[in-house]
Amino acid sequence: MQIPIRSSEEFHRLLFALVDELVDAQIHFNLYQDLVAAIPEYSTEFNQSNTFWSLTFSAHLDATVLRICKAYDQYGSDKPSLNLTSLLDTIDANLHLFDEPNFRERLKGNPFVDSLAETNRRPDPARLKQDKLSVSNSDPLVKKLTIWRNNFFAHRSTKQALDAKGLVGRYPLLISEIGTLLATGVAIVNRYSSLFVATSHSTGIVGRDDYKWLLKAARESLDAYEARIQKQINQVSRASLTLQQAPVAGYMEGGSADSKMRNQQEFELANRFHNAADQEEARRLGDELGRMVFGQKTPFSR
């Protein structure tokens, strides 16, 4: 499945295109794992917008698996796609591109080219053979990924859709296995990138922890909201306690008939609020008591 190339520049473009796929996959996977790891500390904040975060988790994982499906693609034809297998076959057929004269030509503008050229740049045949095996269907994880690629990600298999156990039941693809496939792929492209142009590619990204700002902002908003609610609860509770401690007769002495009736209503409502066991009932009574005592709706939970 060798890819026909006409120059060192063409191979360089192929190599870096595959590097981009695998580095992007690793970035999405890192973010997915970071979000999962944040759940114990920020579970309340995640639950405030559960649908959004659930879809975000799925999107990062889908982006990861779709890219490694392309990187480990096993489809063979007279026009092979760019994948790890076809890249390694192309390397095997063009080992001369790694020889010192060609290496020096590629890095002729690099001030360290002399010291870099001291290292043998031609790929080791045994290592190359081992790398080919590790990205082929002879590897159990690659075989499992290929099954998922052919029956779910590239297109949906009717057979698998009708199967009661499905792919998850028959060929579970674990998060740890996705991590292993990624680590293998990134190591391979970096190995040959280092040999070809003395460059290794980082899978880190500036702003990897940006999601923490969202979670911290949600936490601050919740804390502020709870403080406001607690203040309102305290106000209503104090009003309730005052009404409970004052004798009914005291409210009934003097004043108009309307005032006496209002005092009686406040006293009864305060008692019902104080004794309410149901949260929704307490919320409703609290709002009603708040309107009566403060002249406005006083939302709170107890």
- The most confident of the ranges 147-161, 171-185, 229-243 is 171-185
Q: 132: buried, middle or exposed (CB in 10 Å: 19+, 13-18, 0-12)?
A: middle
- Whether residues 101 and 185 share a domain: the answer is yes
Q: How many domains does the chain have?
A: 2
| Residues 135-165: tens digit of each pLDDT | 999 999 999 999 999 999 988 999 988 988 8
- What range defines the domain where residue 238 resides? 212-294
Instruction: Find all residues with CB under 8 Å of 32, minimum gap 6, and list them.
Output: 57, 60, 61, 64
- pTM reported for the whole predicted model: 0.76
- Whether residues 62 and 23 share a domain: the answer is yes
- Whether residues 40 and 170 share a domain: the answer is yes
- Whether residues 204 and 220 share a domain: the answer is no
**Residue ending a domain, choose from 176, 209, 242:** 209
CA distance 248 to 172: 70
- Whether residues 260 and 155 share a domain: the answer is no
**Residue ending a domain, choose from 209, 233, 255:** 209
CA distance 4 to 2: 6
- Whether residues 268 and 194 share a domain: the answer is no
CA distance 198 to 132: 21
In a domain, 299, yes or no: no
pLDDT of residue 238: 74
In a domain, 300, yes or no: no
Return the half-sphere exposure (C-beta side, CA atoms, 13 A cut-off) of residue 220.
6
pLDDT of residue 299: 44
| Residues 197-215: tens digit of each pLDDT | 999 999 999 999 999 999 9
pLDDT of residue 176: 95
- Whether residues 120 and 258 share a domain: the answer is no
The label of the residue with tokens 């296995």 reads 177
- Whether residues 286 and 205 share a domain: the answer is no
